[in-house]
Amino acid sequence: MKKYKFLLFDLDDTLFDFSKSQLDGIKHLFEMHDLVFDDYKYDQYLKINRKYWDMLEHNQASIDIVRSKRFEEFFALHNIHVNGIEIDDIYHHYLNNTCHLLPNALKLLTSLQDKYELYAVTNGFSVTQMARLEECNIKHFFKDVFISDSIGYVKPQIEFFNYVSDKIPNFNKDHSLIIGDSLSSDIQGGLNFNMDCCWFNPNFTKNTSEIQPTYEVNSYSELLEII
């Protein structure tokens, strides 16, 4: 008898190839401001963006701060003044209309849909995430979709998981597994909630943190072996 009944999937870089969508979106913003794209400037943006998302995850900033300040701070480094919210709206309009799935993500969901109850649990913006689920034609795999923007809490906050567990009929954390690529949000959130967690690590990134997942997998085939 299988151990898990409820599989809670993160979306970005777990099912969606968010890194590709993000790269394309940032290149679009650079072009708008006549800023030559290169790896150095992109790495600058990624570090600033990660800083603000870390602040959000630790309840040190609001989502509006993340939306505005990451772009204002980055473009200021290059002597370009922008309205952060306006730039963020343009960026998310671009993301809303693009979607890239990771290889074999569709095959994975198809193989799981009749055997488990699948739910999406994601940090991010509701309009963007729902649009991308529709664009990639995978929304129908999930019995429900939980997005931090709508809930009012973000992973890894336990309030996010309390909300999710209250909304899933007959939810049992002992028979539930969260699967995600982020140690700080997905895995730490699962640990905060005392639920098994699986770190999806296809890039074989070394875990230098104190966060220890229940499982670590480098591919979907490895995930299938543990559930």
pLDDT in tens, 6-56: 999 999 999 999 889 899 999 999 999 999 999 999 999 999 999 999 999
- Sole residue written with tokens 């296809």: 202
Beta bridge partners of 8: 119, 178
Give the CB-side neighbour count of residue 142, counting CA atoms within 13 A. 22
| Mean pLDDT in residue range 184-209 | 96
10 an active-site residue?
Answer: yes
- Say how far apart CA 113 and CA 133 lie, in whole Å: 16
- Say how far apart CA 50 and CA 53 lie, in whole Å: 5
pLDDT of 97: 82
- Sole residue written with tokens 């679009």: 28
pLDDT in tens, 104-154: 999 999 999 999 999 999 998 899 999 999 999 999 999 999 999 999 999
Confidence of residue 99 (pLDDT cuts 50, 70, 90): confident
Domain 6-16+101-226 homologous superfamily, CATH? HAD superfamily/HAD-like (3.40.50.1000)
Which CATH code for domain 19-96?
Answer: 1.10.150.240
Q: Which of 10, 12, 13, 186 is catalytic?
A: 10
SS3 7: strand
Centroid of chain to Cα 150: 14
Q: Around Cβ 46, how many Cβ atoms within 10 Å?
A: 16
128 phi/psi in degrees, rounded to 5 = -65, -50
Q: What is the DSSP string of 47-73?
A: HHHHHHHHHHHTTSS-HHHHHHHHHHH
Query: How does the average pLDDT of the chain come out, rounded?
Result: 94
Cβ atoms 145, 164 nearer than 8 A: no
Find all residues with CB under 8 Å of 179, minimum gap 6, and list them: 7, 8, 9, 10, 14, 186, 197, 198, 200, 223
- Say how far apart CA 146 and CA 164 lie, in whole Å: 7
Report domain extents, the chain. Answer: 6-16+101-226, 19-96
- Sole residue written with tokens 């401001």: 33
pLDDT of 32: 94
SS3 115: coil
156 phi/psi in degrees, rounded to 5 = -100, 15
